[in-house]
Amino acid sequence: MASKIQHRKSKIQKAQGFATITSQDKFDTAKNIHPHSSPIFTSSTYIYESAEKAQAVFQGKEEAFIYSRWSHPNAELVEKKLELMETFGLNIKAKALVFSSGMAAISALFQSVLKPGDALLAQGNIYGTSVDYFNHYGQTLGIEIIYADFAKLNELETILKQKKNIKLIYAETPSNPTLNCYDLNALAALAKKYKAKTAVDNTFASPYLQQPFQFGIDFIVHSATKYLNGHGTGLSGFLVGTDTAFIKKEVWQIRKFNGTICAPFDAWLLNLGMKTLSLRMEQHCANAMKVAGFLEKHPAVSKVNYLGLKSHPDHLLARKQMKNYGGVLSFELKNGYKAGEKLMKKIKLCQLTASLGTIDTLIQHPASMSHSFVPKAQREKYGITDGLVRLSVGIESVEDVISDLAQAL
């Protein structure tokens, strides 16, 4: 009878859908935690029932929580959920670690994979703080930073042939804030050919819309502050990889030493957001498509960057490697920087802030805000122009969002 019950459970587990994984809280039963809904575990340390148990735990013979800078139940819960989300439907195992922010996760990737003398090949049109971090710590740590247009695969291969010290290829797709899509299959194949690792920032898509591991990518990073949290209530980030031993040892040690684990309260907030990810992403995508259609016809707008539009040059690629096209778009104003400033002053419903992925619509002008510290020449080379506006479309009544943009434009 026991074996039949176990078999039935395994069949149920295999049949679980994405929304089932995100909506339920499954703690490790071996650690004797059985709440229906996750509480906030605010303890910094954990008690052992005997000296023998403590010795076994500290010697690595048994698993238990030791110190919340190392791990804690709230962190472990969201890590296990993300592992299942990023590998959903794939015959792949992965290990995730949750961090205090997306930048903390990127820093851990940088520090664990790259050593002095190595080189990083990065996409030019990525999150401004990622550029700032690469430039600063690349110089400080003696790591060469090479920026390239990842749409030009022949040029990437030329660089990889010439630069034998490239150890990591870092992509962001869809890109921030130009909303380009890059061929993950091709990037992974190039990396393997030249013995480099690949990392993809999957923040804009979320694991609901895109699973980079499906295409042979080695590492995925998230600013979980964005869509995974979904409500703008806390900071968090993830690094997840298919080399589970590397994540558990090398990356975990860096998080432990730097003290960059996500705090229990922020992890608890993150878990609440993850429960509704699939519902929210469907509405974000539907609303963004309608807003993009409106903007594409507006006389003050010269260009709309949204992967769902057939006019976007990467539309077919996005259709191939994404489930839907996301909630973020950007658009080019005909009158440049001044027009961008004017629009920021006139919006009423849309919230003016340099973030994205929340349930309300957020707007920002990269040239004067998120990418203002990126060198102008580098910014413009990769399409982040003075008149570019980024819009993270929320889940409000889309007619209200369109009405606000119409009056502001």
My answer on whether 296 and 268 are in the same domain is no
Q: Which domain holds residue 323?
A: 277-408
My answer on whether 205 and 287 are in the same domain is no
Amino acid in position 348: K
My answer on whether 202 and 284 are in the same domain is no
My answer on whether 320 and 257 are in the same domain is no
Q: Is residue 264 within 8 Å of 40, Cβ to Cβ?
A: yes
- For residue 249, give the DSSP letter: I
Residue 176 is part of a domain; what is its CATH number? 3.40.640.10
- CA distances, 288 to each of 127, 233, 302, 322, 409 (Å): 20, 22, 18, 15, 17
β-bridge partners, 144: 119
End-to-end CA distance of the chain: 68
Could you read off the pLDDT tens digit of each residue along the chain, which spans 409 residues? 344 334 333 444 455 899 999 999 988 766 677 888 889 999 999 998 899 989 998 888 888 899 999 999 999 999 999 999 999 999 999 999 999 999 999 999 999 999 999 999 999 888 888 989 999 999 999 999 999 999 999 999 999 999 999 999 999 999 988 899 999 999 999 999 999 999 999 999 999 999 999 999 999 999 999 999 999 999 999 999 999 999 999 999 999 999 999 999 999 999 999 999 999 999 999 999 999 999 999 999 999 999 999 999 999 999 999 999 999 999 999 988 889 999 999 999 999 998 999 999 999 998 877 667 677 777 777 778 888 999 999 999 999 999 999 999 9
My answer on whether 110 and 168 are in the same domain is yes
My answer on whether 318 and 403 are in the same domain is yes
- For residue 261, give the DSSP letter: B
Number of domains in the chain: 2
For the chain, the residue count is 409
Residue 12 belongs to some domain of the structure? no
My answer on whether 209 and 224 are in the same domain is yes
Task: Give the whole-angstrom CA distance, residue 361 versus residue 386.
Answer: 21
Q: Is residue 35 within 8 Å of 29, Cβ to Cβ?
A: no
My answer on whether 197 and 309 are in the same domain is no
My answer on whether 267 and 331 are in the same domain is no
Pairing of strands 351-352, 328-333: unpaired
